[in-house]
Amino acid sequence: PLKLGIMASGSGSNFEAIAQAIADRCLNAQLQVLIYNNPGATVVERAKRFDVPSVLLNHRVFDSREQLDHAIVQTLRQHEIEWLVMAGWMRIVTPVLINAFPNRILNIHPSLLPSFKGHRAVEQALAAGVKITGCTVHGVVSDVDSGEIIMQAAVPVLPTDTAETLQSRIHVQEHRIYPSAIALAAHSWKERSKL
């Protein structure tokens, strides 16, 4: 099984989709640790239900992004993770973290990249008036939301949509693609390292 570390900031519905896919044996992996940064984030309750140990690293107590990332790397190493999955992690990560797990960090973003990078991607899509948006699983590089695209899914934008209704339509697709995208990324990484 792939040894996964997972990082989340909020609700953690993607965390749950991945944990459930593992429990259902749809994804051959093990969740070694959840790192979260907001005390009281709902994702912690989900981790308890799936027996995944969780570690709070509150960014507010660190002096810089790099110091937070050093603590993250240390925690991930302690839990012997091979792949890092960012599932609604709302902090920008630095080369300290990225270089510790080269080509083995994934993120999910609620738009069809390269459109609507950065914060509030769902609101950006609504404001732009696009008729189709979606979600993207991609590799993490220093440039925000710019790594290799692993998998995408599209959803329609309806005339009646609010950010909430559009976000929940996107969430359904995120939950569907993230487990398979993890398996696909790990598979292609192994194939490439044979070359």
CA dihedral 69, 72, 74, 75 (to 10 degrees): 180
What's the maximum distance between 2 C-alpha atoms anywhere in the chain? 50
Distances (CA, A) of 53 to 31, 36, 71, 166: 9, 11, 16, 32
Question: Candidates 26-34, 65-73, 76-84, 102-110 — which segment interacts with ligand GAR by CB under 6 A?
Answer: 102-110
Other beta carbons within 10 angstroms of residue 40's beta carbon come to: 8
The phi and psi torsions of 42 (rounded to 5 degrees) equal -60, -25
User: Between 128 and 195, whose beta carbon lies closer to ligand GAR?
Assistant: 128
Question: Candidates 11-19, 50-58, 148-156, 185-193 — which segment interacts with ligand GAR by CB under 6 A?
Answer: 11-19
- Calculate ∠ Cα 148-46-60, nearest 5°: 70
User: Between 19 and 87, whose beta carbon lies closer to ligand GAR?
Assistant: 87
Q: What is the distance between the alpha carbons of residues 146 and 140, in angstroms, rounded to a whole number?
A: 7
Per CB under 6 A, the list member of 174, 177, 179, 186 interacting with ligand GAR is 174
Q: Does 10 bind ligand GAR (CB under 6 A)?
A: yes
Q: Does 69 bind ligand GAR (CB under 6 A)?
A: no
Question: Candidates 7-15, 19-27, 124-132, 149-157 — which segment interacts with ligand GAR by CB under 6 A?
Answer: 7-15
Per CB under 6 A, the list member of 109, 161, 173, 179 interacting with ligand GAR is 109
User: Between 11 and 103, whose beta carbon lies closer to ligand GAR?
Assistant: 11
Distances (CA, A) of 75 to 53, 64, 72, 80, 102: 11, 17, 5, 9, 17
| Residues making contact with ligand GAR (CB under 6 A) | 8, 10-14, 87-88, 108-110, 121, 135, 171, 174
Residues annotated in a binding site for (6R)-10-formyltetrahydrofolate: 65, 90-93, 107
